[in-house]
Amino acid sequence: MSDELAQDFSPLLKVYKDGRVERLLGTARVPASIHPQTGVQSKDVVISTSPPISARLYIPKSSASSESSQKLPVLVYFHGGGFCIESAFSPAYHNYLNSLVSEANVVAVSVDYRLAPEHPLPAAYEDSWAALKWVESHFAGMGPEEWLNRHADLNRVFFSGDSAGANIAHHMGLRVGSEKPVGFKLNGIVLVHPYFWGEEPIGGELALGESHRNLLATLWRFCYPLTSGSDDPLYNPGKDPKLGEMGCEKVLVCVAEKDSLKDRGWYYSELLKKSGWNGVVEVMEAKEEQHVFHLFNPTCDNAVAMLKKIVSFMN
């Protein structure tokens, strides 16, 4: 084994010259369970074996009794991690979804897509779409998963994600708009600290320093070697001629004041308004906060306020 580094993306991951990938964050896993505080139940399902795609499902306490057949809105969630770390089974995402499912009284499908660099983009997008097709297969209550057959109202579907997961949620919304699946109705999308970028700095990005801006460009190319660069429409929605085809009626964008991606979130909302899309977009900014602060400090005032906002958006 060689300890010579090929690429160092600390604190996310390191890649060695012999091809080894060492993830420095997001490798912890927690089992599905009945959450003691909220009574939310979770379980893991296999969506596909080739390619390997799985998900963690959540149902609120109200649905857990055997008599309950109440149909609830469905949240499809895409985790963050720069397309290269984290999973649907990470403690931070498991805890967050337990809280969100309990507060919003929804059924959630937290998608575990394949990660770069072993599975370079667009694998994460393809896996996420395959997961949505799997959700759609439950439309008539005849799908492979009993929880969804019994509890999911596929006329009330929402997508959400944070960081890279918000990027995925955005692109899944666009794909719904262009492909118009008949097996579910997408009502809205919540993008938390979305991972968008571009060649030309906007707003406060000039103050970030060249090394930080280069890191975001380099990490993207590392995850997607065949990309055209930072103005790839997958990374920069401002370069996407299909932006106006968003397949839902409302979008909520959450940004954090001290997040280097904040200006992209605001910019995205402006682009969406001008794109010809006839929905409503809203932005919520958390003062004094950093990127994905709510995952690390879920009980702080700003995280609680954001959770409440997302819950009211879905209800």
Whether the predicted pLDDT of 169 surpasses 70: yes
By the 8 A CB rule, do 137 and 153 touch?
no
Per-residue pLDDT tens for 253-263?
999 999 999 99
Per-residue pLDDT tens for 9-50?
999 999 999 999 999 999 999 999 999 999 999 999 999 999
Whether the predicted pLDDT of 202 surpasses 70: yes
Q: What integer best gives the mean pLDDT of the chain?
A: 96
Active site residues: 163, 259, 291
Whether the predicted pLDDT of 192 surpasses 90: yes
- Joined tokens for residue 137: 């297969």
In one-letter notation, the amino acid at residue 286 is: A
- pLDDT recorded at residue 69: 75
Per-residue pLDDT tens for 109-131?
999 999 999 999 999 999 999 99
Mean pLDDT of 226-235: 98
- pLDDT recorded at residue 310: 98
Helix (H, G, I), strand (E, B) or coil at 238: helix
Taken in order of first residue, the domains within the chain and their CATH numbers are: 33-314 (3.40.50.1820)
- pLDDT recorded at residue 66: 66
Whether the predicted pLDDT of 1 surpasses 80: no
- pLDDT recorded at residue 65: 74
% of the chain beyond a pLDDT of 70: 100
Per-residue pLDDT tens for 86-106?
999 999 999 999 999 999 999
- Nearest Cα neighbor of 42 from 55, 26, 52, 53 is 55
Whether the predicted pLDDT of 271 surpasses 90: yes
Helix (H, G, I), strand (E, B) or coil at 36: coil
- pLDDT recorded at residue 67: 72
Confidence of residue 3 (pLDDT cuts 50, 70, 90): confident
Task: Mean pLDDT check: name the lowest of 21-30, 164-173, 205-214, 304-313.
Answer: 205-214
Q: Which residues pair with 72 in a beta bridge?
A: 152
Cis geometry, peptide bond prior to residue 201 (ω within 30 degrees of 0): no
Whether the predicted pLDDT of 239 surpasses 90: yes
Per-residue pLDDT tens for 53-66?
999 999 999 887 76
Mean pLDDT of 135-143: 95
- Nearest Cα neighbor of 83 from 47, 61, 49, 111 is 111
- pLDDT recorded at residue 244: 97
- pLDDT recorded at residue 64: 79
| Residue 82 exposed, middle or buried by CB count within 10 Å (0-12, 13-18, 19+) | buried
